[in-house]
Chains A and B, each alone.
Chain A
Amino acid sequence: MRVKGSRALLESLKREGVDTIFGYPGGAVIPIYDMIYQFPDIRHILVRHEQGAGHMAEGYALATGKVGVCLATSGPGATNLVTPLADAMMDSVPIVAITGQVRSNLIGTDAFQEADITGITMPITKHNWLVKDVNQLPEIVAEAFHVARSGRPGPVLIDIPRDVSDAEFEYTPVESVDIPTYKPTTRGHSVQIKRAAELIDQAKKPILYVGGGANHAYAFNEVRELAEKINTPVTTTLKGLGAFPETHPLSLGMLGMHGTAYANYAVSECDLLIAVGARFDDRVTGKVAEWVPNAKIIHIDIDPAEIGKVLLADVPIVGDVKAILTELNKVVKGKQHPEWVSQINKLKQDFPLHYPNDGVLHGQYVIEQIGEVSNHDAICVTDVGQHQMWAAQFFKCERPRQFVTSGGLGTMGFGLPAAIGAQFGAPDKPVFCVTGDGSIQMCIQELMVATIYKLPIKICILNNQFLGMVRQWQELFHENRYSSVDLEASPDFVKLAEAYGAHAIRCFKPSGVRAALEEAMSITDRPTVLDFRISKEENVYPMIPSGGTIHQMVVQRPPDMVPLDSYIASETYMGEDDQATQEEKETVPVPRAK
C-alpha cells in the first residue's frame, strides 16, 4: 500500500498500542498533525509547552507501565524535550519522543528551526534515530518501542525530517523486531541464584533494599513473597516506593538522605544487603566507603553496568527482577530472623517519623491527610523539593505505580504535567499532585490542559514562600544565608487557578485540611488547586548530609536552632477560618516588585 510517511508513522504507533500522544505542533510536524485527523483512536493532547508534553508522557508511563509518547516540532520544540528526556533517562522511564526535523536537504545548513536533536540527546536517551529514508520509518518506530520498553526501560527519540513525513512509499507493517546488537539478559543465572539463596539462608541480619527496577518489572508480589518467606525488613528507595506496601509490618519505608532513621540504622547494621533493581544512588548511600560496612551484597539488576558501578557485589545476578525473584523464592529455604526483626521494631519505636504538633499547618500533616482522604488508593505525583520528601515519608504507598516522582534528575516542574499524564493513563484513580510554590511555577501553564480535559487532579501546593529545600541546606550548612530562595513574591495561586478555570481553595490551619481535601475529592469535572500555607521554615528530617554517613544523621531539629514559626504572628497567617473567606484572600500579600 502506498502511503505517506506521516500515515506510516501513525499506523505504526497504533500497532504499538498508542492511544494518547502529548504534543505541540510546529512547521516541521504539520504533515504529522494533518494525518492525526485520520486516526480517531489516537487522541492528541495539546500541551502548553513541550516540556509539559515530555513530563506528561513520563507520568503516563509511570502510572500505567505503558510507553508514553510525546511529539514536538524541530529546533526549539525538540530542545524543550531535553529536560524530560534526561529525567526519563535517569529514572528508566519508557518514553518515545518524536520530533520533526527540517527538510533533509536543509539539514546542516543552520536552517530555520534546525537543531541537531539526535546529537543533543545522545547522552540522555537510551538510543535515538534520524530517519533519513521513509522506507526505514516503520522499522525504526518498531525498534524504538522495543528499545524503550525492553531491558532496562528508557527514553528514545525519533527525528523525522519534514520531507520524510511527506514522502510516499510502499508501506508494510513491521511484524517483529530483531536488533542483533541488542539482546538484554532477562533470565538470571541459576548458579548465581543458588549462591544468593545460600547467602540469604546464612544471614543473621538481612535487609531487602528495593529500587525502581522492582516497580518497572512489576515484581510487587515476588518482593513481598521473599520478604515474608525469610521474615526480613524491606526498605525502598524513592523510586522503589510502592514496590512493597508501607503499611506492612516489615516495611522500613524509604532509606537514604531523607529516609527513615530506622531504615538507615537497619541498613548500616545488616549483614546481608539484597539489592533488588536499585542502583546505589548517592542519595541512598551517602559516603559509599562507610555504607553497609559489615554486609555481603546480592545485587539483582537487569542492567549489567549497574552491577559493580558503585559497590562490588558478592553475588551479582543480571536479569529481570521479577523472573529472578521468582526463581530465588523457589530455592530459598526461609530462615527466620525473630531477633533481628524485634531489634528493628525497637528502632522503629525509638526513631519514628514525626513533626511538630503545635497547631501550625505542616506539610507532613497535609500529606498524611491526602493518604487518608483517598484511602491510600490515590496516585501521588510529586514535584521536587521538601514536599517531595515529605510525600515520600508520609504518604504510605501500598501498591506499585502509586508514587510518581522525579528521582534521579530531580526536576522541578515535573509534578503538574506528570500528574496530567498519570490521570490520562489512570482515569479511574484519584490523582494528587503534591508540589511546592517554587515547583508549581515551573510548568504551571499546563493547568490549562487539566481544565480543558476536565481532569479532576488535586494540586496541593505546600506553600512555604521559600525554595524550601535549598533554604534548608542554607540553614544547616551555610549559616542561614538565605541566598535567592525567598519566594514571597508569588502570584495569588487561588486567583491564578481560577483564571485557568480550576477550582481553588486556600487553607491556613490544620483543622481545615481534611475539609479542603474532601472538597477537592468532590470536584470531578476540573482540577482543584489547594494553596496550603504551611509552616515557613519547617525542614525535612531525618537528614544525612550529602556525602555523609549514618553517624552524621540529624534525626530532628537541633534545639538550639532558630525556633520554628517565629513568623507565625505575621499577618499572612492571620486567617481565622481555614477555608479562606474572601476577606482572607485579600490579606494575601501582593507580589512585590524586586
Chain B
Amino acid sequence: MTQTQQHTISVLVENKPGVLARVALLFSRRGYNIESLAVSITENPSISRMTVVVNGDEQEVEQITKQLHKLIDVSKVQDYIDVPIIARELALIKVNAEVNNRTAILQLVEIFRGRVIDMSDKTFVIEVTGGNDKIDALEKLLEPYGIRELVRTGRIAMARGVRGM
C-alpha cells in the first residue's frame, strides 16, 4: 500500500465557461477531496491554469490525473510530487488593532514579511504571501488579537528553473 501524500497538480485548460465546473465535478463525482484550488489565466489568454492540491496515495492520484486528462478541455496535467516547485498562496487577514496592540502586530507582520494594506481606527488588513505553513503560523500568532476576517487564495505552484509544463 502506498503512502497518502499531498500532491500539487497543475492543470492547463481551455479558457472557456464551464471548465471549472467540469474539473470540480470530476473530483466530487469520483470522491476525491480538493484541499485547495486556484485558477487564473496564463501567459496565453486562451489557456487557464488550475493548481489543485489533493491528498491521496500514488495510485489514487494517478487515477485523478488520468481522469483529468480525459476531459476534452484539459490540455496538460502535471503532478508535481517529484518535481522541485515554488508554491505560494496569498492571505488577507483583517485583525483587531487597538492602539496599544499596533506596534506588536506591526512587528509580527514585519517578521513574516507581510504588509499592512489597510488601516482603520480599530483594524489592520494584512497581506502576506508564502507557503501555507507560514500563513498558518502568522494566523496563529494573530489570533489572540482577534481575527475578524481571513481570506486565502489557495496554492499556486510552478516548477523551478527552466523546467516548464
Q: Which residues of A contact B (CB under 8 A)?
A: 118-119, 122-123, 126-127, 130, 147, 179-182, 303-305, 308-309, 312
Interface stretch of the complex, out of B69-77, B122-130, B134-142: B69-77
18 contacts between A and B (CB under 8 A): A119-B21, A122-B18, A122-B21, A122-B25, A127-B71, A127-B72, A147-B72, A179-B72, A181-B72, A181-B75, A304-B69, A304-B70, A305-B63, A305-B67, A305-B70, A308-B66, A309-B63, A312-B59
Distance in Å: Cβ of B148 to nearest Cβ of chain A: 34
Distance in Å: Cβ of B41 to nearest Cβ of chain A: 16
From A147, A179, A304, give the contact of B66 (CB < 8 A). Answer: A304
Is the Cβ of B25 less than 8 Å from the Cβ of A303?
no
B29 contact set on A, CB distance < 8 A: 123
Known: A123-B29, A305-B63. A181 touches B14 (CB 8 A): yes
CA distance A123 to B29 in the complex (A): 8
CA distance A506 to B120 in the complex (A): 87
A130 contact set on B, CB distance < 8 A: 18
Is the Cβ of B62 less than 8 Å from the Cβ of A122?
no
CA distance A179 to B69 in the complex (A): 14
CA distance A305 to B75 in the complex (A): 15
B25 contact set on A, CB distance < 8 A: 122-123
From A118, A123, A181, A308, give the contact of B73 (CB < 8 A). Answer: A181
Q: Which residues of B contact A (CB under 8 A)?
A: 13-14, 18, 21-22, 25-26, 29, 59, 62-63, 66-67, 69-75
Distance in Å: Cβ of B57 to nearest Cβ of chain A: 12
From B18, B62, B74, give the contact of A181 (CB < 8 A). Answer: B74
Is the Cβ of A308 less than 8 Å from the Cβ of B59?
yes
Specify the chain B residue showing the minimal Cβ separation from A147. Answer: B72
Distance in Å: Cβ of B92 to nearest Cβ of chain A: 31
B26 contact set on A, CB distance < 8 A: 123
Is the Cβ of A303 less than 8 Å from the Cβ of B70?
yes
Query: Known pairs A123-B25, A123-B29, A179-B72. 11 more at Cβ < 8 A?
Result: A119-B21, A126-B72, A130-B18, A181-B72, A181-B74, A181-B75, A305-B66, A305-B70, A308-B59, A308-B63, A309-B63
CA distance A127 to B72 in the complex (A): 7
A305 contact set on B, CB distance < 8 A: 63, 66-67, 69-70
Distance in Å: Cβ of B120 to nearest Cβ of chain A: 38
CA distance A308 to B63 in the complex (A): 8
Is the Cβ of B22 less than 8 Å from the Cβ of A182?
no
A312 contact set on B, CB distance < 8 A: 59
CA distance A127 to B25 in the complex (A): 13
Distance in Å: Cβ of B130 to nearest Cβ of chain A: 33
Specify the chain A residue showing the minimal Cβ separation from B63. Answer: A309
CA distance A305 to B62 in the complex (A): 9
CA distance A126 to B73 in the complex (A): 11
CA distance A308 to B59 in the complex (A): 8
B69 contact set on A, CB distance < 8 A: 304-305
CA distance A255 to B134 in the complex (A): 55
Specify the chain A residue showing the minimal Cβ separation from B70. Answer: A305
Distance in Å: Cβ of A399 to nearest Cβ of chain B: 31
B59 contact set on A, CB distance < 8 A: 308, 312
B70 contact set on A, CB distance < 8 A: 303-305
B21 contact set on A, CB distance < 8 A: 119, 122
CA distance A147 to B71 in the complex (A): 11
Distance in Å: Cβ of A156 to nearest Cβ of chain B: 9
Is the Cβ of A180 less than 8 Å from the Cβ of B72?
no
B67 contact set on A, CB distance < 8 A: 305
